[in-house]
């Protein structure tokens, strides 16, 4: 049945919203939004990864720090200067595969006009080897090139691998916590306090001020009246009590002793003066073979030091005076030096009475050692940063981390510059190397560098597919259909013509 | 019209499914290759020279019915503390506070056994991260040390290159993931990457990783950094079960694997010479009701445990050939055996100071070895061009793979659109 075309049933293509032009522009606008949104999507889902100067880091990693050391021999030793120099180089070479020092020896004395703060002088002396400032008095009668070279090397490079594990890792700030522990005050003969301020002034301050270029110290102290041990000391036949070497490793009862306030993130070095309970005195340290040791102090590597205080019979309450603290605090000061890495003077060498307890030879050796450590750690940290960023594609690198890496590199450059430069200054160089280390550490541990959570590829598809497939497929399909319709129309138009 | 549309959609979906499955295959293949490379590279001998111990103990699940996970973590906390790790060196993360839950009939107490003999909460406990602070992000930040300046000392893992770290995790997990709270997951890749960042940053000497969850052994399968010893409670596809109920509390009080580990640990004291091998050989499959696994291929020291360890994973209850990655390397390892107290204990060595100025120093520990060697080894590892080579390779791989996946995605979309357009 044919129905005559009426006004009610119009051709769809004549409807306003079905005009080809309108329909196509609607579809096109969808595509437009889609394409405009793409950069936004890309921007919001990508991770900010600024470039790091990795080639520079790799180049820096290859460089080794060699610090110049100048030694002036008194004209009296002029005849053996060259053999001392070669001998000294040999000795240093044997100790280290890559010599960390650039030693040069020349002949001259103060009158000769070379006088310079950083030059070490060797002069003839009368009795024994004596250090006075940067001058070493060496007796002429024992003089051979090798003995002088040995002495010099033990002074300018005193570090051996054996002691290294005790030294605390470098930190610009340290907290020293002094604790007086009564094992059990209720047993009687309690130590109620100590003259800590005087003792610190006398024994600790000389050391802390000598290394003040390197570290900043905060000191805290406390007295405790109940600090039980976690084990029973072994009673000995003569009525004393013994601590076996095994006991020493578990001496610190960390579960029950509070040894330092946790108010800052600085590393803490602990110094404990332990007063045994009345029923367990005297408490002695035993050697491996079970005989009592002459020492009553021991050191826990990188942690701190413990001194056991065996007092003679005392009244029921006692205040430890300056003279009582003499022995324990001289042990503390030795151990603080050991923990900070201040080298001991080789045996047989004395300091002249006029100088302070630490000679410039020791401090310089420490500075050089710390500088090497700082430079090595900086190089390692920078390399690790660059490698990790390469290795973990999700790890963000923001402007802060980037600038920290650059700061570390420029501080390292400053170190290299002053190493070869004329104006060589140990303290400046130390400042630069410390700055390099701090910046590189800050870059590595920058909170923004946390790699985003790992999403396996299948998770990505699982999220994107249901979200986008249902939206994209009709869009694509209509686009294709419109394109085909447009082509058909054009062909028809051509045919008609 | 509508019907045909849905029909094509179903068709499209099957396309996507195939696409997705192939991409999964790519992903899993890549990591196996990477693992063996690393395995070969780190087969070297070393020894433990640590000066401090740290522990990170994580209970990642909330709610009262997960009481047992909290007591797992608290049981470990009690053990490491008893063996000499101070509170300042323990990071304890508890995702919920079952002790103060209103359903707890014994308020302020957490028990790990049906008789309620030992209160794990006790009077001296320091929870560092609790409740909603226990997130994947915080966990990874604690490990990698990337914390904001304002975070206090007690919430930081301030370890260094001389630290041995014990990491214990418990919660609900699955194949290569562990659920945190009820909202997020940490994957095996995340932990492996975090450990690598710790290694590069000089934040550990050795790590002992222990995990008690379902399919726990998958969690350590992605590790690739050196000096890590790992153990888990159950195989892939296997559940980890609870040990017992307390009828007054009305919930399970502890997981089986952790219960037996803790039971073994009760025999260990601060100066014990028991080895990791002794711990592993104490695993009893019929009792634990799941198959615990070990991974020691990244760990350079021998595990100890004597003859019994050779038969680990063989015998009654075990599936052939047991779950031990690194069994082959074990025979060729040299150095001091890994003691339990290396990871659970306090200090290792003490130097006695003589009063006289030319002191001689006694080493209290017999097994400490010059530091130089370990240092040199570490440096060698870092400086090796090998790492850089491998990483660049992996990276271009991923890009290529993603590009391929997306382009195939587009092509399939176009094809489907074309077919549909033709039909209508």
Structure confidence by residue, pLDDT tens digits, A235-263:
888 888 988 888 888 888 887 888 887 77
B/e letters for B256-265, b = 16+ CB within 10 Å, e = fewer, are bbbbbbbebb
Give residue B5's pLDDT.
Answer: 45
Does residue B313 form part of some domain? yes
* Band of pLDDT at residue A15, cut at 50, 70 and 90: confident
CB-CB neighbors (< 8 A) of A42 in chain B: none
| Partner A contacted by B174 (CB < 8 A) | no
Give residue A200's pLDDT.
Answer: 93
User: What CATH number is attached to the domain comprising B150?
Assistant: 3.40.50.1460
The answer to whether residues B52 and B34 belong to one domain is no
Does residue B111 form part of some domain? yes
ipTM summary value: 0.83
Q: Of residues B2 and A324, which shows the higher confidence score?
A: A324
Closest CA of chain B from A205, distance in Å:
20
* Band of pLDDT at residue B384, cut at 50, 70 and 90: very low
Q: Domain range holding B132?
A: 48-379
Does residue B387 form part of some domain? no
* Band of pLDDT at residue B382, cut at 50, 70 and 90: very low
Give residue A301's pLDDT.
Answer: 85
Q: Contact A380/B418, CB-based, under 8 Å?
A: no
The answer to whether residues B229 and B142 belong to one domain is yes
- Say whether pLDDT at B175 is over 70: yes
**pTM of the complete model:** 0.79
Q: B370 near B233, Cβ under 8 Å?
A: no
Q: Among A46-55, A65-74, A403-412, B150-159, which is the least confidently predicted range?
A: A65-74
Q: B311 near B278, Cβ under 8 Å?
A: no
| Partner A contacted by B388 (CB < 8 A) | yes
* Band of pLDDT at residue B266, cut at 50, 70 and 90: very high
CA nearest neighbour of B283 among B304, B301, B309, B254: B309
| Partner A contacted by B389 (CB < 8 A) | no
The answer to whether residues B330 and B412 belong to one domain is no
Report pLDDT digits (tens) over A288-329. Answer: 888 888 888 888 888 899 999 888 877 788 888 888 898 899
- Say whether pLDDT at A218 is over 60: yes
Burial class of B373 by CB neighbour count within 10 A (0 to 12, 13 to 18, 19+): middle
Q: Of residues A343 and B31, which shows the higher confidence score?
A: A343
Helices within B133-208 (DSSP H only):
136-144, 188-200
Q: Which of A46, A158, A163, A165 to mutate to test the interface with B (most CBs of B within 10 A)?
A: A165
Closest in A165, A294, A305 to B51, CB measured = A165
Give residue A416's pLDDT.
Answer: 85
- A-chain residue closest to B145, CA distance: A445
Q: Contact B190/A454, CB-based, under 8 Å?
A: yes
Q: Contact B395/A393, CB-based, under 8 Å?
A: yes
- A-chain residue closest to B144, CA distance: A445
| Partner A contacted by B398 (CB < 8 A) | yes
Tell me the C-alpha distance between A114 and A105, whole Å: 13
The answer to whether residues B296 and B412 belong to one domain is no
Fold held by A67-162: Rossmann fold (3.40.50)
Give chain B's domain count. 2
Give residue B20's pLDDT.
Answer: 52
The answer to whether residues B17 and B74 belong to one domain is no
Q: Which of A45, A457, A463 to mutate to test the interface with B (most CBs of B within 10 A)?
A: A457
Q: Contact B271/A298, CB-based, under 8 Å?
A: no
Does residue B262 form part of some domain? yes
Closest in B148, B162, B196 to A302, CB measured = B162
- Say whether pLDDT at B18 is over 70: no
Q: How do the domains of chain A map onto residue ranges?
A: 16-45+456-496, 67-162, 173-340
Does residue B385 form part of some domain? no
Look up B172 and say whether it is catalytic.
Answer: yes
Q: Contact B271/A458, CB-based, under 8 Å?
A: no
Q: Contact A162/B148, CB-based, under 8 Å?
A: no
Element (H, E) at A123: strand A119-125
- B-chain residue closest to A458, CA distance: B24
Please determine, looking at this structure, whether the domain spanning A173-340 carries the CATH number 3.40.390. Answer: yes
Closest CA of chain B from A405, distance in Å:
14
Tell me the C-alpha distance between B159 and B153, whole Å: 12
The answer to whether residues B53 and B34 belong to one domain is no
Give residue B353's pLDDT.
Answer: 66
Q: Kindly tell me the number of DSSP H helices and DSSP E strands found in chain B.
A: 12, 15
Peptide bond into B321 cis (omega under 30): yes
Does residue B390 form part of some domain? no
| Partner A contacted by B408 (CB < 8 A) | no
Q: Coil, strand or helix: which one is A298?
A: strand
Q: Which of B172, B291, B310, B361 is catalytic?
A: B172
Helices within A177-294 (DSSP H only):
196-199, 205-210, 245-249
The answer to whether residues B175 and B188 belong to one domain is yes
Portion 43-62 of B in contact with A at CB < 8 A: 49, 51-52
Q: Name residues whose C-beta falls within 8 Å of residue A212's C-beta, 6 or more positions apart in sequence.
A: none
- A-chain residue closest to B5, CA distance: A474
Q: Which of B50, B214, B259, B291 is catalytic?
A: B214
Tell me the C-alpha distance between B59 and B71, whole Å: 9
Would you state the structure tokens that stand for residue A217, as one six-digit string? 């110290």
What is the average pLDDT score of chain B?
78
Does residue B419 form part of some domain? yes
Give residue A280's pLDDT.
Answer: 85
Does residue B224 form part of some domain? yes
Look up B34 and say whether it is catalytic.
Answer: no
The answer to whether residues B58 and B139 belong to one domain is yes
What is the average pLDDT score of chain A?
83
Closest CA of chain B from A486, distance in Å:
14
Q: How are the residues of chain A apportioned to helix, strand and coil, as percentages rounded to the nearest 5?
A: 50, 20, 35
CB-CB neighbors (< 8 A) of A298 in chain B: 350-353
């Amino acid at each position: 049945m044919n129905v005559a075309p009426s006004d009610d049933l119009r051709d769809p293509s004549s409807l306003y919203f079905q005009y080809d032009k309108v329909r196509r522009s609607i579809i096109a606008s969808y595509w437009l939004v889609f394409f405009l949104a793409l950069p936004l999507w890309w921007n919001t889902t990508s991770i900010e990864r600024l470039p790091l100067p990795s080639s520079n880091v790799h180049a820096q990693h290859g460089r080794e720090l060699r610090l110049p050391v100048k030694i002036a021999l008194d004209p009296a030793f002029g005849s053996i200067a060259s053999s001392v120099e070669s001998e000294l180089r040999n000795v240093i070479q044997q100790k280290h595969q890559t010599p960390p020092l650039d030693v040069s020896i020349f002949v001259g004395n103060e009158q000769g006009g070379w006088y310079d703060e950083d030059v070490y002088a060797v002069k003839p002396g009368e009795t024994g080897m004596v250090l006075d400032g940067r001058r070493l008095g060496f007796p002429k009668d024992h003089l051979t090139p090798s003995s002088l070279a040995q002495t010099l090397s033990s002074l300018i490079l005193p570090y051996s691998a054996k002691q290294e594990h005790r030294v605390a890792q470098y930190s610009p700030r340290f907290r020293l916590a002094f604790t007086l522990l009564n094992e059990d005050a209720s047993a009687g003969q309690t130590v109620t306090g100590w003259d800590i301020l005087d003792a610190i002034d006398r024994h600790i301050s000389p050391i802390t001020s000598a290394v003040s270029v390197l570290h900043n110290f905060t000191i805290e102290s406390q007295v405790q009246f109940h600090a039980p041990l976690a084990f029973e000391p072994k009673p000995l036949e003569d009525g004393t009590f013994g601590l076996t070497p095994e006991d020493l490793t578990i001496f610190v009862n960390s579960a029950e002793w509070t040894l330092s306030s946790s108010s800052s993130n600085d590393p803490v070095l602990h110094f404990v003066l332990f007063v045994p309970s009345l029923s367990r005195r005297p408490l002695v340290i035993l050697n491996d073979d079970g005989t009592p040791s002459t020492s009553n102090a021991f050191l826990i590597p990188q942690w701190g030091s413990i001194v056991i205080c065996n007092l003679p019979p005392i009244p029921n309450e006692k205040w430890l005076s300056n003279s009582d603290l003499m022995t324990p605090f001289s042990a503390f000061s030795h151990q603080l030096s050991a923990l900070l890495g201040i080298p001991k003077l080789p045996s047989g060498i004395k300091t002249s009475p006029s100088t302070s307890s630490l000679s410039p030879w020791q401090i310089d050796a420490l500075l050089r050692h710390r500088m090497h450590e700082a430079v090595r750690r900086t190089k390692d940290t920078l390399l690790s940063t660059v490698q990790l960023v390469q290795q973990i594609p999700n790890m963000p690198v923001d402007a802060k981390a980037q600038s920290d890496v650059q700061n570390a590199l420029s501080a390292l450059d400053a170190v290299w510059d002053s190493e070869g430069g004329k104006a060589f200054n140990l303290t400046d160089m130390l400042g630069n190397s410390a700055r390099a280390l701090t910046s590189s550490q800050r870059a590595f541990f920058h909170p923004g560098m946390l790699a985003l959570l790992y999403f396996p590829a299948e998770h990505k598809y699982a999220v994107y597919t249901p979200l986008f497939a249902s939206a994209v497929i009709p869009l694509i399909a209509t686009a294709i259909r419109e394109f085909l319709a447009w082509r058909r129309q054009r062909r028809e138009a051509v045919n008609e013509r | 019209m509508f019907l045909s549309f849905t029909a094509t959609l179903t068709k499209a979906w099957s396309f996507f499914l195939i696409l997705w499955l192939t991409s999964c295959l790519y992903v899993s293949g890549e990591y196996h290759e990477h693992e063996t490379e690393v395995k070969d590279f780190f087969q070297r001998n070393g020894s433990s020279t640590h000066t401090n111990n740290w522990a990170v103990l994580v209970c990642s699940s909330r709610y009262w019915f997960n009481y047992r996970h909290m007591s797992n973590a608290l049981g470990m906390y009690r053990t490491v503390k008893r063996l000499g790790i101070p509170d300042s060196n323990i990071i304890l993360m508890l995702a919920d506070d079952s002790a103060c839950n209103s359903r707890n009939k014994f308020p302020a107490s957490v028990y790990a056994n049906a008789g309620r003999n030992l209160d794990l909460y006790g009077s001296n406990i320091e929870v560092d991260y609790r409740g909603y602070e226990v997130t994947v992000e915080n966990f990874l930040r604690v490990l990698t040390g990337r914390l904001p300046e304002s975070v206090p000392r007690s919430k930081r893992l301030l370890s260094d290159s001389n630290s041995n770290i014990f990491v214990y995790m418990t919660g609900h997990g699955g194949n290569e993931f562990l659920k945190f709270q009820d909202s997020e997951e940490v994957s095996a890749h995340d932990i492996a990457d975090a450990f690598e960042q710790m290694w590069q940053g000089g934040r550990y000497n050795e790590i002992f990783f222990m995990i008690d969850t379902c399919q726990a052994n998958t969690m350590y399968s992605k590790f690739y950094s050196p000096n890590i010893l790992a153990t888990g409670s159950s195989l892939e596809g296997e559940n980890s079960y609870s040990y017992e109920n307390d009828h007054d509390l009305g919930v399970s009080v502890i997981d089986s694997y952790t219960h037996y580990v803790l039971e073994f640990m009760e025999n260990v004291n601060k100066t014990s010479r028991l080895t990791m091998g002794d711990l592993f050989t104490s695993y009893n499959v019929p009792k634990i009701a799941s198959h615990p696994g070990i991974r020691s291929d990244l760990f350079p020291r021998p595990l100890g445990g004597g003859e019994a360890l050779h038969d680990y994973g063989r015998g009654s209850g075990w599936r052939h050939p047991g779950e031990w990655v690194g069994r082959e390397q074990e025979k060729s390892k040299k150095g001091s055996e890994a003691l339990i107290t290396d990871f659970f204990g306090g200090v290792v060595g003490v130097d006695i100071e003589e009063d006289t100025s030319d002191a001689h120093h006694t080493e209290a520990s017999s097994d400490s070895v010059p530091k130089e060697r370990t240092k040199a080894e570490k440096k060698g590892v870092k400086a090796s061009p090998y790492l850089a080579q491998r990483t660049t390779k992996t990276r271009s791989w991923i890009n290529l793979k993603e590009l391929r996946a997306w382009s195939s995605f587009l092509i399939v979309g176009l094809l489907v659109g074309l077919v549909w357009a033709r039909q209508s």
